[in-house]
Amino acid sequence: MTLDRRTLLTGTAVFGVAAAFGFWPAQADINRNGTYKLSDAEWRKKLPGQSYDVLRHAATERPFTSPLLEEHRKGTFVCLGCDQKLYDSATKYDSHTGWPSFWQPLPKAIGTSKDDELGYDRTEVHCARCLGHLGHVFDDGPKPTGLRYCMNGVAMKFVPA
Task: Walk me through the domains of the chain, giving residue ranges and CATH numbers.
Answer: 30-160 (2.170.150.20)
**Whether the Cβ atoms of residue 103 and residue 93 lie closer than 8 Å to each other:** yes
Please report, in tens digits, the pLDDT of each residue of the chain (161 residues total): 444 444 444 444 444 444 444 333 344 455 555 667 888 899 999 999 899 999 999 999 999 999 999 999 999 999 999 999 999 999 999 999 999 999 999 999 999 988 777 777 889 999 999 999 999 999 999 999 999 999 999 999 999 99
Active site residues: 150
> Which residues pair with residue 148 across a beta bridge?
138
